Structure 1
Amino acid sequence: MVKPLPRLRLQGFNNLTKALSFNIYDVCYARTEEERQRYIEYIDEEYNADRLTQILTDVAEIIGANILNIARQDYDPQGASVTILISEEPVIDKKAAGKELISDAVVAHMDKSHITVHTYPETHPQEGIATFRADIDVATCGVISPLKALNYLIESFDSDIVVMDYRVRGFTRDVKGKKHFIDHKINSIQNFLAKNIKSRYEMFDVNVYQENIFHTKMHLKDFDLDQYLFEEKAKNISFKERMKIEALLKREIEELFHGRNLDE
């Protein structure tokens, strides 16, 4: 729950821009080249433009935004992207109201408030590792908070590793002329995570409070090999092979979590 500061009387409307960015990773092991190709095809269908559009439409509803426009695209050979322009003001029917009566707030928000997602499936050419990354941005201008959609977005994907950034920019001025550079309390993105999510993930923070920059990254605590195997069961693999696969997967997870190659 986003806890606002005591209500302020503002001059004009709230000019603060709030941006929440995700990098969500799903990691998988596919033993053969054919299995890796089928994994890519599965992911490409599971998170196609239609599915992503539904997820982002739900996000708009959760944060209380009105949808102005939707653009979506599936890519060849794989991947998809969706962009939704949103506003905190009701959408006005141009035909009914007349162009000159369209709210200035709607126009003002179109270049600032948006929700986007881009997907990136890929595979390692030799080692059997396959990954899927979804990059999500929720940017709002005004009183709408993207943090309200935090838990829903994490649960909407197979989130083995999640990297999140939240920042507040600009200022809003009250009727006395004082500038306010943030309008809610926060000392970590973790404040807004549900308990059941917190219990499943190891989390690490890097925050720059004076700049209103908040960074949290997390990965699943428990490792169950069956959850990472594509079209295979751990019981059907030799002990030696299981140990090799586990080592590869854990290394991949650590490298994605830390954002660097561990052999460098």
Structure 2
Amino acid sequence: MNAPSVQRLDGDRLHLQHGPIDVVLRAWGASAAVRDAYEAVVVRFATILPELAGELTELRKPMGARPQVEGPVARRMVAACRPYGGRFVTPMAAVAGAVADELLEVMVEAAPLDRAFVNDGGDIAIHLTEGETMEIAVAADFARGPVPALNGRITLTDRDRIGGIATSGAQGRSFSLGIADSVTVLARDAAAADVAATLVANAVTINHPSIERRPARDLDPDSDLGDHLVTTAVGPLPREAVLAALEAGRVQAEQFRLRGLIRDCALTLRGETVTLGSTRLPRETTQ
């Protein structure tokens, strides 16, 4: 296992990378507080991947098999997935968000910060003290090519009590059972947002001959999804099919919102975007 790398970026940001974990973070506050927070997060970051690797067998088990874990990040992953135990989901659905939450907590406990974020591959943990705000750009529209276009921006305040934003979908780096270009979720923390985004993205689907799927195990023998069919390609779809798939995902997201598991959700497919509309996620794709 290679050693973790730490790089200072412009804008007083840190880039931390270790194996598949790729994080960009920033803290605001007194210079001494930011320094202490960065020193603490670098020390903690070096231990996360070995911890997760040591419990990978349990973390790949479906929640119905009651995975037993000990590490703090692994416990965050299991806790985030526990409310969804009635459906197929493994703790790996929350790994990026849980890592972001753990690193953010280390920073906040190390020093009094005004605000901070930890972005782990697009799953973001956020800390805001009273009176602070943070603007987040949402880039989720793949209708014009492989690089997502900017849908809009949202401004979070401490009063929103949103500590995590996560995005999932068939265009992302992980397998998806659905066809969404992207699903962005706002929740109490990044781990909660991460697993919800995964499950809502899975629900954005329809049966159509232009959709290609293969067992996850055929693409990656170590995938926690096993023989579940994952999306490998989506051909041309009529608009009514796109809207039907988005509606299936929206219904799932609304159920999660009513249970208090998420605050809002934006779902995008082929240039069409729908939201629950309970906060300030962009309601339609920017033209």
Could you say which TM-score interval applies, normalised by the shorter chain?
Answer: 0.3 to 0.5
TM-score norm. by structure 1 comes to: 0.34
TM-score norm. by structure 2 comes to: 0.32
